[in-house]
């Protein structure tokens, strides 16, 4: 373990110990009751700026709305991607955003923390486990009910997929309702959803048609980039290209969606789409028959656009981050051959 990792581990342990003391206040205790709690205002704490992590919050937001349709939800986040993701969620009223680089904007950073004390909520949710900022913000916010991401025990045995980063916040919320006296939702966990509008979908259809030049054929899209050691080499993609191109080029349009870094692991062998507009990229993905994506925020964006998605993994935990729902699936490229991936593509294209 690196020195930085050790410091972060010590910081998280200390923060957890301190916040537990504050959570013992009566207003924050979760007592077992027999009456469904009245929830009109909710604060979800997920102080993170990454696209994928913000998209993984959408199932929790949907679950809260399904139980309380008239609810007003505030989000405590980092950066400025959240308002874009939740643009078409009318129940999301406000995002309280920490600057991405606090030491460069220290005054603004402190001001945002102060803003947390301005409102009173019926429920405050620490959406993840192990986030010191998430724990502190949950303590600071004023609320009748509040709980942390690790407050409920035994749910790993109750739900085999509890470890998933999009699912355990939903299961925790259902457990909160159960303990507080409300009925719990036994339906499938909501999928990631950008809630693209009909006009956005139509725009994506037009963009795709202009890119491919053949709107009569369905499209398979590839997102080949990922950060750090999650990114597959150009050699890996070269070998895979030889297989999928010869198999699908006569029946499907084949395109590549480029990252903000404008890097192509396919070395620009396919027509490519580039945009910095998250919702525009999602609208194009939504019009594709299949998206094959490296383990990245763009993989989660494809899922949230409701396009059938295959996620390519080599480093990250598949149970924690795998695409689910809508014929989505994950591939462990360490043990899955190119031919196996083609077989999965065939199943989805069906």
Query: pLDDT tens, 75-125?
Result: 999 999 999 999 999 999 999 999 877 777 778 888 888 888 889 999 999
The answer to whether residues 169 and 205 belong to one domain is: no
Alpha carbon 225 to chain centroid distance? Answer: 18
Pairing, β 72-78 against β 253-257: unpaired
Q: What is the pLDDT of residue 243?
A: 96
- 241 pLDDT band, cuts 50/70/90, is very high
Mean pLDDT for all residues in the chain: 90
Does 3 score more than 60 pLDDT?
A: no
Alpha helices in 40-167 (DSSP H): 51-55, 58-67, 82-85, 106-115, 132-140, 155-158
Closest CA to 226 of 315, 100, 308, 320: 315
Domain holding 58, by residue range, is: 3-180
Let me know if residue 147 belongs to a domain: yes
Q: What is the pLDDT of residue 92?
A: 98
Let me know if residue 186 belongs to a domain: no
Neighbouring C-beta atoms of residue 34, cutoff 10 Å: 7
Last residue of a domain, one of 149, 180, 211: 180
Dist CA 193 CA 346 (whole Å): 25
Cβ neighbours for 6, distance < 8 A, ≥ 6 positions apart: none
Domain count, the chain: 2
Does 175 score more than 50 pLDDT?
A: yes
The answer to whether residues 35 and 113 belong to one domain is: yes
Q: What is the pLDDT of residue 106?
A: 79
Here the CATH number for the domain that contains residue 243 is 3.40.50.2000
Q: What is the pLDDT of residue 343?
A: 97
Does 17 score more than 80 pLDDT?
A: no
Q: What is the pLDDT of residue 24?
A: 40
Query: pLDDT tens, 26-46?
Result: 334 556 665 678 899 999 999
Go through the chain and tell me how many residues it has: 350
Let me know if residue 62 belongs to a domain: yes
Q: What is the pLDDT of residue 27?
A: 37
- Per-residue three-class SS string for 66-123: HHCCCCEEEEEEECCCHHHHCCCCCCEEEEEEECCCCCCCHHHHHHHHHHCCCCEEEE
In this structure, what DSSP letter does residue 26 have?
Answer: G
The answer to whether residues 65 and 129 belong to one domain is: yes
Dist CA 300 CA 229 (whole Å): 18
How would you classify residue 195: left for phi > 0, otherwise alpha for psi between -120 and 50, otherwise beta? Answer: left
The answer to whether residues 205 and 103 belong to one domain is: no
Dist CA 83 CA 75 (whole Å): 9
Q: What is the pLDDT of residue 95?
A: 95
Last residue of a domain, one of 180, 211, 231: 180
Does 14 score more than 70 pLDDT?
A: no
Let me know if residue 187 belongs to a domain: no
Query: pLDDT tens, 179-202?
Result: 887 666 678 999 999 999 999 999
Q: What is the pLDDT of residue 183?
A: 67
Closest CA to 113 of 127, 99, 128, 92: 99
Rounded average pLDDT over 59-71: 96
Let me know if residue 306 belongs to a domain: yes
Last residue of a domain, one of 154, 180, 206: 180
Does 340 score more than 80 pLDDT?
A: yes
**pLDDT above 70 coverage of the chain, percent:** 88
In this structure, what DSSP letter does residue 91 have?
Answer: T
The answer to whether residues 45 and 176 belong to one domain is: yes
The answer to whether residues 274 and 232 belong to one domain is: yes
The answer to whether residues 264 and 309 belong to one domain is: yes
Residue 313: Cβ-neighbour burial (10 angstroms; 0-12, 13-18, 19+): buried
Query: pLDDT tens, 111-157?
Result: 888 888 889 999 999 999 888 889 999 999 999 999 998 888 899 99
Between 12 and 250, name the one with better pLDDT. 250
The answer to whether residues 317 and 276 belong to one domain is: yes
Dist CA 147 CA 176 (whole Å): 8
The answer to whether residues 167 and 300 belong to one domain is: no
Query: pLDDT tens, 296-329?
Result: 999 999 999 999 999 999 999 999 999 999 999 9
Let me know if residue 240 belongs to a domain: yes
The answer to whether residues 218 and 341 belong to one domain is: yes
The answer to whether residues 319 and 221 belong to one domain is: yes
Q: What is the pLDDT of residue 1?
A: 58
The answer to whether residues 153 and 211 belong to one domain is: no
Dist CA 109 CA 104 (whole Å): 9
């Amino acid at each position: 373990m690196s020195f930085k990792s050790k410091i972060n581990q010590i910081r998280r342990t200390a923060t957890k110990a301190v916040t537990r003391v504050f959570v013992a206040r009566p207003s924050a205790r979760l007592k077992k009751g027999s009456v469904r709690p009245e929830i009109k205002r909710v604060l979800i704490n997920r102080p993170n700026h990454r696209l994928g992590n913000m998209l993984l919050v959408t199932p929790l937001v949907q679950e809260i709305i399904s139980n309380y349709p008239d609810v007003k939800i505030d989000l405590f986040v980092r950066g400025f991607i959240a308002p874009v993701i939740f643009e078409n969620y009318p129940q999301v009223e406000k995002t309280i955003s920490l600057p991405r680089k606090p030491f460069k904007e220290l005054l603004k950073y402190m001001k945002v923390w102060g803003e947390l004390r301005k409102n009173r909520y019926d429920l405050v949710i620490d959406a993840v486990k192990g986030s010191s900022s998430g724990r502190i913000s949950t303590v600071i916010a004023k609320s009748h009910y509040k709980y942390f991401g690790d407050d409920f025990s035994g749910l790993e045995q109750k739900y085999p997929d509890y470890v998933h980063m999009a699912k355990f916040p939903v299961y925790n919320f259902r457990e909160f309702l159960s303990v507080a006296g409300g009925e719990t939702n036994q339906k499938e966990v909501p999928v990631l959803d950008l809630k693209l509008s009909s006009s956005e979908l139509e725009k994506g259809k037009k963009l795709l048609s202009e890119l491919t030049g053949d709107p009569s054929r369905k499209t398979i899209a590839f997102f080949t980039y990922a950060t750090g050691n999650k990114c597959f080499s150009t050699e890996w993609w070269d070998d895979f290209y030889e297989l999928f191109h010869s198999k699908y080029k006569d029946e499907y349009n084949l395109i590549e969606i480029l990252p903000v870094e404008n890097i192509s692991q396919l070395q620009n062998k396919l027509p490519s789409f580039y945009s910095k507009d998250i919702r525009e990229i999602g609208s194009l993905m939504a019009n594709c028959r299949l998206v094959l994506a490296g383990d990245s925020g763009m993989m989660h964006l494809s899922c949230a656009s409701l396009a059938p998605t295959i996620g390519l993994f080599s480093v990250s935990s598949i149970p924690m981050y795998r695409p689910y729902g809508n014929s989505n699936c994950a591939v462990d490229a360490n043990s899955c051959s190119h031919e196996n991936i083609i077989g999965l593509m065939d199943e989805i294209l069906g």
